[in-house]
Chains A and B, each alone.
Chain A
Amino acid sequence: MVMDCKQIQKKLIFYIEGDLDSVESAKIISHIEVCKECEFLLSQLKSSLLFLEQEKQTETNPFFFSRVMAGLEKEPKQSFIINWLRRKQYSLQIVGYSILVFLAITAGHYLGKDKITIEMETATQENVISDNQLFAESYQFQINEEDVYIIKADEN
């Protein structure tokens, strides 16, 4: 069965890594002989994987041990609690900020509630007074001021 480019391109890395059997490998070789695009992609992939091989360090750094010893001497032994705090610092920050936001909302709610209540009570008192007067005027009652029922603010 002749493979098309899509099928070939799915197997290129396995071909490079030697994971394919001889039959599959032969199909790929014969395809790339006639397909410039697949040949190009194969060479690019090969070159990228080869690049990884070349990145490995092979020379020993003669100063590395000194660095390790300097690190050991510099780093004080920290307590379990401090190490735990360092590991959990991000979670603790989230919890801390959440608590602050909650406290701010709660404080705002309670502070705002008293002010609104006072305003509402004042408005209610004024409405009662003006409603009674309007009522009296509408029926042309001769109404004495002392008869208009007023709730004084300092009386319960």
Chain B
Amino acid sequence: MDDINLLEQIKLNNQKAFQEMVIKYQNLVINTCYGFLHNQNDAQDVAQEVFIEVFRSISKFRQESKLSTWLYRISVNKSINYIRDNKKNSWFQSLDLLFEKEKAVKEILPDFDTPQEILEKDEKSSSIYKAIDDLPQNQKIAFTLYKFENLSYKEISEVMNISLSSVESLIFRSKKNLQSKLLKYYKKN
């Protein structure tokens, strides 16, 4: 079923159509949320809220943009709100991230990775995620959509509702800032 038909069926409360939409766009939403939250469990929780929001607001969607664009917008907003609401717990979140990443790496990596290599990979992930988190909000959004979702500049401009030249500027500055922070980290360590 194409997106237009899917939307029409979901408006009629067709659960099968809703399930089809969830399966089709699940990875898109979870990956977008993960790009901001850097934690699979949190990303899945927020992704769940995204689809609940979609189901509740389906009648309000005017179809002026693509369904995927609308999903990206809701995912970005929900993720940003989640980060803001949980800022006071960010220290505990970062501990969870460290332990969860360690556990995830141990499950996925083959046996020949030494503990030293596992530790290095954890440090690498922490350093790049921290560098991304430190970016100004619009740069972070543009960079995350560009890097995690491989969206084109045009698609990013539609999601963020800004001009193409603004997207180019945001991506350029985000790369420059990210590079600056990472090089500082590498030289220090």
Q: Which residues of A contact B (CB under 8 A)?
A: 9-10, 12-14, 17, 19, 40-41, 44-45, 47-49, 51-53, 55-58, 60-61, 64-65, 67-69, 71-72, 75
Tell me whether A64 and B44 are in contact (CB under 8 A).
Answer: yes
Chain A residue nearest in CB terms to B54:
A68
Tell me whether B125 and A51 are in contact (CB under 8 A).
Answer: yes
Q: Knowing that A52-B147, A68-B51 touch, tell me 20 more A-B residue pairs with CB under 8 angstroms.
A: A10-B176, A12-B179, A40-B186, A44-B186, A45-B183, A45-B186, A47-B124, A51-B125, A56-B34, A57-B30, A57-B40, A58-B27, A61-B44, A64-B22, A64-B47, A65-B22, A65-B26, A67-B44, A68-B48, A71-B49
Tell me which of B48, B121, B148 has the highest count of chain A C-beta atoms within 10 A of its own C-beta.
B48
- B151: Cβ under 8 A from any A Cβ: no
A49: chain B residues within 8 A (beta carbon): 128, 147
CA distance A65 to B52 in the complex (A): 11
Contact (A71, B52) CB under 8 Å given A12-B179, A41-B183, A56-B31: yes
B152: chain A residues within 8 A (beta carbon): none
Which single member of B23, B125, B127, B182 contacts A65 (CB below 8 Å)?
Answer: B23
A40–chain B nearest beta-carbon distance, Å: 8
Which single member of A47, A55, A60, A72 contacts B26 (CB below 8 Å)?
Answer: A60
A60: chain B residues within 8 A (beta carbon): 23, 26-27
- B61: Cβ under 8 A from any A Cβ: no
Encode contact with A along B37-54: 1 for CB under 8 Å, 0 otherwise: 000100010011101100
- B178: Cβ under 8 A from any A Cβ: yes
Chain B residue nearest in CB terms to A44:
B186
CA distance A56 to B149 in the complex (A): 8
Tell me which of B31, B55, B128 has the highest count of chain A C-beta atoms within 10 A of its own C-beta.
B128
CA distance A57 to B30 in the complex (A): 8
Tell me whether A67 and B148 are in contact (CB under 8 A).
Answer: no
Tell me whether B183 and A56 are in contact (CB under 8 A).
Answer: no
Contact (A52, B148) CB under 8 Å given A57-B34, A60-B27: yes
B121: chain A residues within 8 A (beta carbon): 51
Contact (A61, B26) CB under 8 Å given A51-B124, A68-B51, A71-B48: yes
Chain A residue nearest in CB terms to B175:
A13
Encode contact with A along B158-189: 1 for CB under 8 Å, 0 otherwise: 00000000000000000110110011001100
B125: chain A residues within 8 A (beta carbon): 51, 55
B48: chain A residues within 8 A (beta carbon): 64, 67-68, 71
A87–chain B nearest beta-carbon distance, Å: 9
Tell me whether A57 and B31 are in contact (CB under 8 A).
Answer: yes
A12: chain B residues within 8 A (beta carbon): 179, 183
Contact (A41, B52) CB under 8 Å given A13-B178, A65-B23: no
A105–chain B nearest beta-carbon distance, Å: 28
- B19: Cβ under 8 A from any A Cβ: yes
A9: chain B residues within 8 A (beta carbon): 179, 183
